[in-house]
Structure 1
C-alpha cells in the first residue's frame, strides 16, 4: 500500500467504522499501550484553580514586561518556573473531578504545554527576526497628537525599539531562512493587505515607511516627538542592515518538523488527528467544495454575474442592510439567541480603493457582504467574542482556542446556506464556496510549511492556483501568519468546521427528537472557548477522544 493510500484509508476509517462511528469518529492517535486514565494525584479542583491563577500571573508578567528579556538565562529560568507549575497540575486527583472539571484540567494543561512549546521549540526570540520587527510596526501607526498617559506609553514604546533591535542581534542565533526573508520584506514593503493598519492612499513601505509617515505627521502636529521617532527609525534601519548582512548564514528550517507538529496537535490542540490524516481531510474537503462549486455555477449559469459595489456609499449601504437582514433572520428562524445588549459588533473589510485593484477579501465582500458578516461579525467572531466577555468562569473565561474560534466561523458559512439565508442569493452561494476552498487548501499549506516540505513561495503559488480570485498579497500574508504563529493555526478553519459539525451530529444523535438547534448553538456560546474535543466531552460525555489525552507525551527531540 502506498503512503497516500494508507493516509486515505486511515482518514476514511474516521467515518466508515462501526455504525456508531457515523456519529462519533474514533480517535486516531497511535498508541503503544492502552490509554491512561485520569491522574489520581493529590490536588483537588480548588488547587487546580489556584495553580491556574499562578500560571496566569506568571504569563502576564512575562508578556507584559516593560523591557522584554529573551536572554538564554531568562528563557531557562522561565522554563524551570513553567515546569514547576506543570508538575503541580499533573499531581491532581483528576479521576475524582466532575466531567466539566476534567475538561477544565485538560484545558489548563494544554495552555501550559503551549507556552512550554513556545519557550523550547518555537523560540521566536532566537529563530524569527519578525518577532522583533512586529514589535516595531504598530507604534508609528499611532494617531497624533497624543497627550498625558497615552503620550507616555507611546514614548516608552518608541524608546523600547532600539533595545529590541540590539537584543535581536544578540539572541537570533538560529534564525530560519523563511523567517528572515519575511522580516526583511516587512521592514521595507507594505504587505498589501493592511490588517488593522490606518488607511493611506499609498501604503507606507513597511516598518521603515511607517516611521517616515509618523515623522511627517509629527513635524506638523507634535514636533517634540521627533527625536524619539527618528531614534526608533534609525534602530529599525540598523536592524535591517544587520539582517541583510547576516542573512546568508540564516539557513535553518522554519517549520517544527513532523514529530513535534504531531505532538502539538495532540498535547496542545487536543485534536484526534495526526498530520497525515489532516492532510487527507483537507484534500477531501477541497475536492468536495470544488465539486459543489461546479454544480452551483451550472445551476446559476443563466443568472447575471454579481458585480462589486461601485462606491464606498453603495458598499456601506449594502453592508448595513445585510447585517440587519442576518440579525433579523437569526431571530426569526430560532437559530441562536441574540441578546438585546450584545454591544457593538465590528465588521471586517473596509472600503479601500487600492492602486493595484481589489484583494481577495474585497473581491468577495464588495460583491456581497454576507459571507464575511456570518464568519466575522454575527454570529461569528465579533458576536462570539462579545458573548465570551460575559463568561465569568475562572478557567474557561481566560482560554481561547484557534480551532474553536475559526471552526465556528467557517461552520456558519455553509450553515447559512443549509438554513436558507442564501435561498434568494444564488450567486452568493458561489462566493461561500470560494471562501471554503481557500480555507481547505490552507490545511495542506499549513502542514507543508510546518513539516518543512515547502517554503512560503511554493505554498503561495499552490494556494493561488487552487483558489479563485486569490491575490499574491493575501496568500503571502496568510502563509506568514500560519508559519509564524504556533503550529496548526491554518488548519483550524476547515478542521474546526469538521469538529463543529461532528459536535452537532453527536448532540443531535444523542438528543433525538428533543434536539433544538437554537438551544445547541446557545450552549456552544456559553460553554467556553476551549478545544472542541473538550466541549464534546463536556456536552455529550463521550470520552473516545479525551481518553487519549490524560497522559502528556514527552516532547520529541529536534
Structure 2
C-alpha cells in the first residue's frame, strides 16, 4: 500500500545516518559492519534510482533536505556543539573522525561521493517527482482498522481528534486564566539546573504513584532516574530551544509521565518481562502511545501537579499538540494537505511549536497512522477506564485497573478491552472487513 521502495527516497537515505554515527576508532564486529555498510552504499543508491518510479513530492523534498540540512531537532543523535548539515554533513564528520583510523577514509570518500551524486540526481529530477503523499481515504481506513486494529474509520477519528483539540484548547485557556497572577516558569539556566528538575520530578512522580495507589512499581524498576533515562538531552543551540525543549527545560513532568515512569521506559520494562511471548514482544503504536498520553492528563487529574499550576498548562499544550497531529496525519493521508501545509497548520494551533519540530513530524510518513495513534489510543484508554469503573462500581480499584492493563502487554487496546470487560463490539469488526486487494481494486 505504501510502497516506500518506489515512492520514498528517504527509504534509502534514512539508514545512512546510523552508519555515520559509528564511533571511531572501531574494532571487531563494529568495524567489520561499518566497512560492509560503507561499501554497500554506492550500489544501494544506484538501485534506488531504478526503483524510485512514483516518488511522492513531499518525500522528495524531505530527502533533499535531509541530505544537506540539519533537521533542527537531532533527537537521539550524537551531540555536536554545531550540528552537521544533514546526512552529508554527518559523513563529513565521520571522515574527520577517521583521522584516528585512516584505513577507513577511502571507503568513506566513496560513500560520500555516492551520496552527493544521489542528492544531485534528486535535485535534477525533482520536477517529475509529483506523486501524492497520502494513500487516500479508503486505503487509510483499511490500514487503521486491519493493520493498526483500531475500531474507527479515519472520518470518525478526525471528528474525535477535532473534539479533543477543542477540549484541550479550552482547558488550556481556563488554566492560563486561573494562573494569570503567577509567574511563568523560566527555562533551565544550566545542565545542572535541568538535571535537578528531572531529579525532583522523578521523586514527585514516584511518590504520587506509590502514595496515591496509582500503579504497582515492581522491584526491578530502577530507583535512580539516571538509570531510567529521559528523552530530551541538554543542548545549547544557536537557535531558540525547540518545542520539546521549551516544555522539558521548564518542567520535565509532562514528558516524565509520558516517556519515563509510568510511561514508555517503565512500560517497556514491565511488558518485556511478560511471560507470554506475544505480549512481551509485540508493540502496537496506539497502545504504546495511547497509554503514555493518557498518563499526562491522568497525572494532572489525579493530583500530581497540584503544586505546579503552570505545569498543568504544559500538559494541555502536549494534549492539543497530539490532537493536532492526529488531524494533520489524517488530512495528509487523505491528500487534503501537503506536508508543508500540515506543518503550517500545526504551528497555527500549537503554542511554542517551532518550524523544525513541525516539519520533522509532518514528514513522518513511513507508515500511515503514526500521528493519530497518540490521541486515538488516549481516547481508547479513557473509554476503557470509564467502562471498567461503571462495570465494577464500588469494587473498582484504580491501581488494580492499571496493573491489569499493564499485564496484557502492548497488544491493541481493543483486544485489552475485550479481555478486561468482555465487551466484544470492537473485536467482532476485525473478522468482517474486506481484503486490501478489494479496497485498492475499488
* TM-score bucket (shorter structure): over 0.9
User: In 1, are the aligned partners of 2:71 and 2:356 still within 8 Å (CA)?
Assistant: yes
Structure 1 residue 513 corresponds to structure 2 residue 422: no
Length-normalised TM-score, structure 2: 0.96
- Name the counterpart of 1:551: 432
Aligned to 1:387: 270
1:165 aligns with 2:45: yes
Q: Are the aligned partners of 1:191 and 1:206 in contact in 2 as well (CA < 8 Å)?
A: yes
Distance 1:376 1:163 in 2: 39
Give distance in 1, aligned partners of 2:391 and 2:343.
Answer: 42
Alignment of 1:241-280 (within 5 A): 241-280=120-159
Quote the offset at 1:371 in angstroms. Answer: 0.6
1:182-197 to 2 correspondences below 5 Å? 182-197=62-77
Pairwise mapping of residues 141-540 of structure 1 onto structure 2 (< 5 A)? 141-219=21-99, 221-343=100-222, 344-481=227-364, 484-540=365-421
Other-structure match for 1:24: none
Question: Any conservation in 2 of the 1:360–1:474 contact (CA below 8 Å)?
Answer: yes
CA RMSD of aligned residues (A): 1.1
Query: 1: distance between equivalents of 2:212 and 2:392?
Result: 20
Q: Distance in 1 between matches of 2:325 and 2:342?
A: 9
Where 2:71 maps in the other structure, the secondary structure is coil
- Shift of residue 321 of structure 1? 1.7
Deviation at 1:547, TM superposition (A): 1.1
Aligned length: 435
- What CA distance in whole angstroms lies between the structure 2 residues aligned with 1:142 and 1:552? 45
Q: Whole-Å Cα distance in 2 between the matches of residues 262 and 163 of structure 1? A: 37
- Is contact 2:204-2:304 (8 Å) kept? no
Q: Counterparts of 1:395 and 1:366 in 2: how far apart (Å)?
A: 37
Judge conservation of contact 1:135–1:161 (CA < 8 Å) in 2. Answer: no
Task: Report if the CA contact (8 A) 1:136-1:236 is conserved.
Answer: no
Deviation, structure 1 residue 205: 0.6
After TM superposition, give the deviation of residue 485 of structure 1 in Å. Answer: 2.4
Q: Is the 8 A contact 1:267 1:553 kept in 2?
A: no
**Residue matched to 1:30:** none
Gaps of 5+ in 1: 1-120
**Aligned partners of 2:7 and 2:56 also within 8 Å:** yes
**Once the two structures are superposed, what CA deviation does each residue of 1:108-153 show, in whole Å capped at 9, x if it has no partner?**
xxxxxxxxxxxxx111011100000011111111111111111111
Tell me, in whole angstroms, the C-alpha distance in 2 between the residues paired with 1:493 and 1:554: 26
